[in-house]
Copies of this chain bind each other. A is one copy, B any other.
Amino acid sequence: MSDVFVDPSVTPVAAPTVTPTVTTGPITGSTKTYRELHHPGIDAPLRVPFRRVNLTDGDHLDLYDTSGPYTDPDAVIDLDKGLPHRPGVVRDRGTQLQRARAGEITAEMAFIAEREGVSPELVRSEVARGRAVIPANHNHPESEPMIIGKAFGVKVNANIGNSAVTSSIAEEVDKMVWATRWGADTIMDLSTGRDIHLTREWILRNSPVPVGTVPMYQALEKVKGDPTALSWDVYRDTVIEQCEQGVDYMTVHAGVLLRHIPLTVDRVTGIVSRGGSIMAAWCLAHHTESFLYTHFEELCEIFARYDVTFSLGDGLRPGSIADANDAAQFAELRTLGELTTIAKSHGVQVMIEGPGHVPMHKIVENVRLEEELCEEAPFYTLGPLATDIAPAYDHITSAIGAAIIAQAGTAMLCYVTPKEHLGLPNRQDVKDGVIAYKIAAHSADLAKGHPRAQQRDDALSKARFEFRWHDQFALSLDPDTAREFHDETLPAEPAKTAHFCSMCGPKFCSMRITADLKDSIRDAMDQKSAEFAEHGNRVYLPLTS
């Protein structure tokens, strides 16, 4: 294989000089705005960010904004220093879950309520009940508070991180900023290549959104990639290292038990979770139960100290349509339910990871079972992909599954990029993945009747119908590409107010014809109603054959 690949993680390299450059400046057609909140006991106001779309008819629409200071032209961005700290971070009163149970509305909850357009009490009660989580490590004050729970907007996570084959710290920092620009609500740094600690440090210090990790990946690097050489000590030390750095949530595959492994043996695609396959290898090699399971309470104690949220990993998720909803998958889910109860007894916040590859008719069962077995802890699913047959288009195969599972109650969707199964996503793949998932999440918000969701659809459709092309672009998920596509055939500025586009041309534009019609219809109705009166108010019958 040496002509294909040299593994840099085992090849000594000098400490890298990191000089990332990231995309800054407002999203086309929008400006950054903040609503200021005063919270008891905090001097500085909480500044809740929104993306304000300024419309040409004088109106505006404020949208949920994940992009942090990078889209604020007034913000000073210094990647070496990292983002400024938010006010109101409290380290000595336990987790958001514990404080919610005690009836406290934290600064984070107040911020989130304003951001989501709901009452602070709804935020508190959902967190107290364990049906929502606020991933906010005390050591990550750069992050803007956000909530993951079915009562709120559906969230999107973007996975970034290098592999041993490709990418650098600068590229990954750029991807992080780029992903949040397009709407990623959280980031997972899944680096498995070189400089794992340093990559994460750069991401955490500059991320305006919560950051998740899978600590197992770094632990495995520490034992030079040999799963059988892992131990609880190495893993625990890695977790503490990451807690100290400020990781907000961690995927822990503690539900992969020795007794579950034989259930995977006749699967078409075995175990497709990296963490799951590593733990299965360890369990079998040592012929003993997973140390993640046997040491789970110690893990809870560590997480509680920093308010790190569990993302209980689905190490046995199906990796193909054939393996969906099978005994292995649901056996693990049952174990995740037990672990949820333990974590919550320690006051630790919990969400549950879900599949994977699932045909449409088997998707809803996943949500129902997760809610039943895991005390309604927020469900956080990877897709699922509704078919296996479209590598290079798995952002689409999975956006279908993601929309359906989110409608059924999934709180956060982990994106899938077009590179899934084929290679490490680049910058363009990250954007394509985020946009596809914002579509899925927003479609689900509409279907769930989220109070703010349809405002944006209505504003965009109104702009479309009134041929306010600039407004239509500005209100869209990706104004730049929408405009670029339009301009491919009609680039001149007057076409931005023209009553047609190149799809139908001027004579066949239904919107133009209908807009012209609207007045005629009203006139006709007025006339008919005058005639109706004139003819003695007899019921009008249309002329039909």
Question: When A477-B393, A507-B192 are in contact, do A513 and B293 touch as well, CB less than 8 Å?
Answer: no
Partner of A389, one of B442, B462, B502: B442
- Give the most central of A500, A503, A543: most B CB within 10 Å: A503
Q: With a CB–CB cut-off of 8 A, which chain B residues contact A400?
A: 399-400, 403, 439-440, 443
Question: When A320-B457, A322-B458, A476-B392 are in contact, do A517 and B281 touch as well, CB less than 8 Å?
Answer: yes
A368 proximal to B (CB < 8 A): no
Assess whether A488 is in contact with B423, with CB atoms less than 8 Å apart: yes
What is the chain B residue whose CB lies nearest that of A272?
B510
A62 proximal to B (CB < 8 A): no
A113 proximal to B (CB < 8 A): no
- Interface residues in A380-413 by Cβ distance below 8 A to B read 386-393, 395-397, 399-400, 403-404, 407
Of A96-104, A171-179, A259-267, A303-311, the stretch lying at the interface with chain B is: A259-267
A495 proximal to B (CB < 8 A): yes
Of A82-90, A123-131, A236-244, A478-486, the stretch lying at the interface with chain B is: A478-486
Give the shortest distance, in Å, between A275 (CB) and chain B (any CB): 8
What 1/0 mask marks residues of chain A from 415 to 435 whose CB sits below 8 Å from any chain B CB? 000111111111000000001
Partner of A419, one of B444, B503, B525: B503
- Interface residues in A1-38 by Cβ distance below 8 A to B read 1, 3-5, 7, 9
What 1/0 mask marks residues of chain A from 506 to 525 whose CB sits below 8 Å from any chain B CB? 11111101111110111011
Partner of A192, one of B3, B278, B508: B508
Q: With a CB–CB cut-off of 8 A, which chain B residues contact A509?
A: 274
How many residues of chain A have a CB within 8 Å of chain B?
143
Partner of A269, one of B419, B464, B492: B464
Assess whether A163 is in contact with B392, with CB atoms less than 8 Å apart: no
What is the chain B residue whose CB lies nearest that of A480?
B392
Give the shortest distance, in Å, between A213 (CB) and chain B (any CB): 14
Of A66-74, A143-151, A201-209, A283-291, the stretch lying at the interface with chain B is: A283-291
Question: When A3-B492, A511-B269, A514-B272 are in contact, do A193 and B505 touch as well, CB less than 8 Å?
Answer: yes
A294 proximal to B (CB < 8 A): yes
A153 proximal to B (CB < 8 A): no
What 1/0 mask marks residues of chain A from 97 to 133 whose CB sits below 8 Å from any chain B CB? 0000000000000000000000000000000000000
Q: With a CB–CB cut-off of 8 A, which chain B residues contact A392?
A: 476, 478, 481-482, 484-485
- Interface residues in A319-334 by Cβ distance below 8 A to B read 319-322
Give the shortest distance, in Å, between A46 (CB) and chain B (any CB): 28
Partner of A423, one of B192, B477, B490, B506: B490
Measured between alpha carbons, how far is A423 from B490 in the docked complex, in Å? 8
A79 proximal to B (CB < 8 A): no
Assess whether B492 is in contact with A458, with CB atoms less than 8 Å apart: no
Assess whether B461 is in contact with A4, with CB atoms less than 8 Å apart: no
Give the shortest distance, in Å, between A17 (CB) and chain B (any CB): 23
Give the shortest distance, in Å, between A71 (CB) and chain B (any CB): 18
Assess whether A397 is in contact with B443, with CB atoms less than 8 Å apart: yes
Assess whether B322 is in contact with A270, with CB atoms less than 8 Å apart: no
Q: With a CB–CB cut-off of 8 A, which chain B residues contact A448?
A: 361
Assess whether A543 is in contact with B289, with CB atoms less than 8 Å apart: yes
Partner of A511, one of B272, B396, B472, B484: B272
Assess whether B422 is in contact with A501, with CB atoms less than 8 Å apart: yes
Assess whether B424 is in contact with A489, with CB atoms less than 8 Å apart: yes
Assess whether B461 is in contact with A269, with CB atoms less than 8 Å apart: yes
A530 proximal to B (CB < 8 A): no
Assess whether B478 is in contact with A390, with CB atoms less than 8 Å apart: yes
Q: With a CB–CB cut-off of 8 A, which chain B residues contact A319?
A: 461, 465, 510-511
Assess whether A422 is in contact with B503, with CB atoms less than 8 Å apart: yes
Known: A269-B511, A289-B542, A388-B464. 10 other contacts (CB 8 A): A5-B498, A9-B505, A9-B507, A259-B542, A261-B524, A280-B514, A389-B476, A421-B501, A423-B490, A426-B488
Interfacial residues, chain A to chain B (CB-CB below 8 A):
1, 3-5, 7, 9, 163-166, 192-193, 217, 220, 225, 227, 257-259, 261-262, 264-265, 268-274, 276-278, 280-281, 284-285, 287-289, 293-297, 319-322, 357, 359-361, 386-393, 395-397, 399-400, 403-404, 407, 418-426, 435-436, 438-440, 442-444, 446-448, 454, 456-458, 460-462, 464-465, 472-473, 475-478, 481-482, 484-486, 488-490, 492, 494-495, 498, 500-511, 513-518, 520-522, 524-525, 542-545
